[in-house]
Amino acid sequence: MRILQLTSDWKWTGPAEPMLVLACALREAGHEVALGCPDAPDGEPSGLAVEAGRRGMRPVLRLDRGRGVRPWRDRRDLERVRGAIGCFDVVHVWHTRDHVLALRAVRSAPRAACPIVVRSLSDAAPLARWPWNRWLFGRGADGVACVSEATAAANASVRGGRPIAGILGAVEGEKVAAAAGRFTRAAARERVGLPAEAPVIAVVARVQRHRRFDLLFEAFSRLTDEHRHARLLLLGRGTHFDEVAAQPVAERDLADRVVMAGHRRDDYLSVLASADLLTYLVPGSDGSCRAVLEAAACGVPCVATRRGALPEIIADGETGVLIDEDPEALAEAWRQLIDAPAERTRLAENARTRARSLFLPARLASEVEALYEAAAASS
């Protein structure tokens, strides 16, 4: 197949890396894969186009930067997409703006040069049943890829029998392991100020109000009543960091036990791999929960809620622990695993094995390819 991965977001955030992992996996499977995206603003050292170039996939189509659907503003981009789509069998879109551009371009194209349009839905929450969503994700897409089977089942009624699939995410396990091994466990901990022997619970999340940091800090406060040597490692940043993280930590007198390491780049996976546990409470804009997949590939088990794709990613009691959204339930799960290193090791090994047998780019490409074929057959 000839496939165009099209996105209107230039940033290296949210679903950008899952899209690029998929694009590279489809290319490895023998498909012709191209990328269309905006360039980063001048002076911005990173972005999707830069990261794609490092993997040998330079964009063939450059969109203007922009958000939302604005037909007059987007007329130049519409012409660009119209001029490109005749070369492809599939246009795979990731956001509403690029989705609408693809639909407008396809509907004005000759029937013989009309690719199918497949949409990835990165949010694990069911779609709001607004008329716009029912059209865009119904007749407006030949296929829809969701981040879990549960999300696909919840959105099936919008599709009206058209192809929809729940497809778990993937990580490049060998690359993750190699990056995680860049620093030793002791060196990685030293880089962020973690004690060498302390039990460490990592949290990878953008610091936002809806990510349940209130639950996190209340549970950690209860844990440290008994385990004062434990440490909570926050890997992330956010606009409301002081309000959501810094102030609550100070108010609970946890400042000496909560390490705020911010957004990491070159040492991120080494620091993550140095933790004993990952905790993940609320999926963000990347509903595939990439941090959980990366942690599993590093042999770090996860304590998580039952939101979104998490119950399908984590085998409860085998590769991690699923909990109710209750501070005592979370604190108790931590207590049990801190006090049982052999059980922690068992979960870690199982998580690593599952990640390297299931969360594979080749499996992701195969399942997405099947969705493309189903969408083409029904269009």
Q: CB of 189 within 8 A of CB of 223?
A: no
- Provide the residue ranges of all domains of the chain, joining segments of one domain with +: 2-170+360-378, 173-358
In this prediction, residues 76-101 reach a mean pLDDT of 95
Distance of alpha carbon 13 from alpha carbon 187, whole angstroms: 27
Residue of 105, 122, 16 whose CA lies nearest to 59: 16
Alpha-carbon distances, residue 200 vs 146, 236, 322, 343 (angstroms):
32, 16, 18, 16
Output the average pLDDT for the chain. 94
- The confidence score (pLDDT) of residue 38 equals 95
Residue 108 has pLDDT above 80, yes or no: no
Rg, Å, the chain Cα set: 21
Residue of 359, 373, 374 whose CA lies nearest to 25: 359
In this prediction, residues 5-20 reach a mean pLDDT of 92
Reading the block at residue 246, the tokens are 């810094």
In this prediction, residues 6-27 reach a mean pLDDT of 93
In this prediction, residues 327-353 reach a mean pLDDT of 97
The class that CATH gives domain 173-358 is: alpha beta
- The confidence score (pLDDT) of residue 71 equals 82
Q: Give the model confidence (pLDDT) of 278-303 as tens digits.
A: 999 999 889 999 999 999 999 999 99
- The confidence score (pLDDT) of residue 173 equals 84
- The confidence score (pLDDT) of residue 110 equals 67
Q: Give the HSE-up count for residue 233: Cα atoms under 13 Å, Cβ half-sphere.
A: 27
Q: Which of 40-44, 99-103, 116-120 has the lowest mean pLDDT?
A: 40-44
Contacts of 235 (CB under 8 A, 6+ apart): 202, 203, 204, 205, 261, 262, 263, 264, 268, 271, 272
- The confidence score (pLDDT) of residue 238 equals 86
In this prediction, residues 55-84 reach a mean pLDDT of 91
The superfamily in CATH containing domain 2-170+360-378 is: Glycogen Phosphorylase B; (3.40.50.2000)
- The confidence score (pLDDT) of residue 373 equals 98
Residue 143 has pLDDT above 70, yes or no: yes
Higher pLDDT: 111 or 301? It is: 301
- The confidence score (pLDDT) of residue 239 equals 83
- The confidence score (pLDDT) of residue 112 equals 60
- The confidence score (pLDDT) of residue 44 equals 85
Residue of 233, 229, 212, 214 whose CA lies nearest to 277: 233
Residue 109 has pLDDT above 80, yes or no: no
Beta strands, E only, the chain = 2-6, 32-38, 61-63, 90-93, 116-120, 143-146, 164-166, 200-204, 231-235, 258-260, 277-280, 302-304, 320-322
- The confidence score (pLDDT) of residue 15 equals 85
Q: Give the model confidence (pLDDT) of 120-137 as tens digits.
A: 999 988 999 999 999 999
Higher pLDDT: 108 or 153? It is: 153
Q: In what order do the strands lie in the sheet with 2-6?
A: 61-63, 32-38, 2-6, 90-93, 116-120, 143-146, 164-166
For the chain, what percent of residues have pLDDT higher than 70?
99
- The confidence score (pLDDT) of residue 166 equals 98
202, burial (CB in 10 Å: exposed 0-12, middle 13-18, buried 19+): buried
Distance of alpha carbon 378 from alpha carbon 375, whole angstroms: 5
Distance of alpha carbon 123 from alpha carbon 146, whole angstroms: 8
Helices vs strands, H then E, count in the chain: 17, 13
Residue 58 has pLDDT above 80, yes or no: yes
If pLDDT is split at 50, 70 and 90, which confidence band does 113 have?
low
Residue 245 has pLDDT above 80, yes or no: yes
- The confidence score (pLDDT) of residue 67 equals 87
